[in-house]
Amino acid sequence: MAVNLKSTSARDALKPRRNPYFHCLRIGLYVGYRRADEGTGTWIARRLKEGTKSYEFRSLGTLSGYEEAVRLTEAWAGAVDMGITHKAITVDEVCNTWVTHKKTENSKASAADVEGRFNRLVHGKPIGAMPLDKLRTNHLREWLVAQLNEDGDEDDMRRSKNTANRNLAAVKAALNLALKDRLILTDAGWKTVTPYPKASKRRTGDLTSPERAVLLAHCDIQLAALVRTLLLTALRPGEIANANVGDLNKEQGTLTLTGKTGRRLVTLSTTAIEFLKIQAQNKLPSAPLLTDSFGNRWNKDSWKKRFKNAVKAAKLPDEVVMYTLRHVAISEMIAGGVDTFLVARLAGTSTTMIDKHYGHLRHIQTRARLDAVEMI
């Protein structure tokens, strides 16, 4: 007996039962619908095994309607006809296969890198447990967005996008290998998910000395103190915001910081020491070294809008954010001839990161010194 599954009203009129109602698409291929007692029903595909009188089935789950069920049924049947497995391979399994492939075809370090990414972001996560043939573009996009640092400033966001792009590249490589191995018929579930643009843009210190002076002139007293400190130290904004008066050693000229890299001790320039001594005057050791206009410790929410207004008033590019000041200071150190290792230590980062983002300045400086030498 023919069953109408095309409309929602027709499906709702069916009597709930355990066995699905099937509609024949063509000889040997059916799309089925299991009517639930309550809630939305589920879809199932049925195919007559070639050369037999028995059927094989494929659960399609909850879908948008009849048209999607027909499309997935046809895709499944087509994949079987082409010799593509219809076993419920998960993203987890695909990623494991890719790691094995990397160990065989590439270096151990490369394999260890992607394995670490999968351990952090795929294995044990919803995206990892998802059957490959049910992976949709929105699933991968949601996974990508979840990796972004939305609590940070613009530079934090850029860096998190850069990292997310590398993670996406690793997962898409694993998925593409599955496509090549005929574990799935199409790459429609991930092909259109693209990396974030301009996420790996090299950091530069793009504020000239006159521009810095104009910026400081448009800051109130407390904000100017924060801006000046960052320009004098190349510290992260959060590190100086966390600093207490007691963290400043006036005799040794050092500052103990607590932040992204844990606790560390940095040496200050004479100018920075004298400036911070003034900020620490008449304050208890446990008090914040720098405060906002209300005497409270600085945080991202209290400086972000005020700094943006100062940038606008100074007619500087919108891309200038608080984190830019750290990049300006690092650039000036490198251009001034300070050793890369020392700059990395003061800034609380690695020499690799310094070379990657500021190495061009070191080359300019070296070239200037070479040009000053009479070779011939």
- Interatomic CA distance for residues 237 and 247, integer angstroms: 16
Q: Mean pLDDT score of the chain, rounded to an integer?
A: 86
Q: What's residue 174's pLDDT?
A: 92
Better-predicted residue by pLDDT, 92 or 102: 92
Q: What's residue 296's pLDDT?
A: 94
pLDDT-based confidence at 58, cuts 50/70/90? confident
The C-alpha R_g of the chain, in whole angstroms, comes to: 30
44: helix, strand or coil: strand
pLDDT in tens, 313-357: 999 988 888 888 998 999 888 888 888 888 888 888 887 777 776
Q: Is the pTM of this model over 0.75?
A: no
Answer whether residue 200 shows pLDDT above 70.
no
- Interatomic CA distance for residues 273 and 250, integer angstroms: 7
